[in-house]
Amino acid sequence: MTKHGIIDDFEAYSEWRKQVRNVIKKYRDIAKAEDLTNAHSEQRLNQIISTLNDDKLYIAFVAEFSRGKSELINAIFFSTLGKRVLPSSAGRTTMCPSELMYDHDFEPSIRLLPIDTRSTGTSIQEYKNMPEEWSDYPLDIDSAEQISEVLRHITEVN
């Protein structure tokens, strides 16, 4: 079976990232062996390698409120369900950043970080390493109705 179009492009991009990562690893190892690095440069190279290991596609939808971001996401990702999954009523539906992702290591669910955590000064990236701070809601991927109901939690302010 031959793959076409965007799938080929994504696979080529993924392969390119692997090659770049391997070159940077070799550079890091040689520089370290020749004592040409310091703690800061080693940390930075390791961060670059870690970023290249994260072989995920990120798509950001950014606009002022009530500009149709949720409608666009519903149309692109959930059109086969025959129902709006993300809340998309008039007004300020989703007041905080929302991240939709697929991870084969986790069961389908929605993970929410309580809005009051924003006043702590802790970054979302740091919270990603604190699973106890998140609320998890399982998703039944065969039920658009249940998914839609669970996703209504993203409109809550408390």
1 — pLDDT class (breaks 50, 70, 90): very low
- Whether the predicted pLDDT of 142 surpasses 50: yes
* Greater pLDDT, 146 or 81: 146
Q: What is the mean pLDDT of residues 13-32?
A: 95
Q: What per-residue string of b and e applies to 16-36 under the rule 16 or more CB within 10 Å gives b?
A: eeeeebeeeeeebeeeeeeee
Q: What is the pLDDT of residue 49?
A: 95
CA 88 to chain centroid, in Å, comes to 20
Domain range annotation of the chain: 6-53, 69-155
| pLDDT per residue as tens digits for the range 66-124 | 788 888 888 888 788 777 777 776 655 566 666 777 777 878 888 888 878 878 888 88
Query: How distant, in Å, are the alpha carbons of 26, 114, 154 from that of 119?
Result: 42, 10, 18
Helix locations, 1-78, DSSP H: 6-33, 39-53, 69-77
Q: CB–CB of 78/85 below 8 Å?
A: yes
* Mean pLDDT over each residue of the chain, to the nearest integer: 83
Res 33 pLDDT > 80: yes
Q: 28 near 45, Cβ under 8 Å?
A: yes
What pLDDT was estimated at residue 127? Answer: 87
Rounded to two decimals, the pTM is 0.55
Look at residue 44 in the predicted model and tell me its pLDDT.
95
Tokens representing 4 are 């076409």
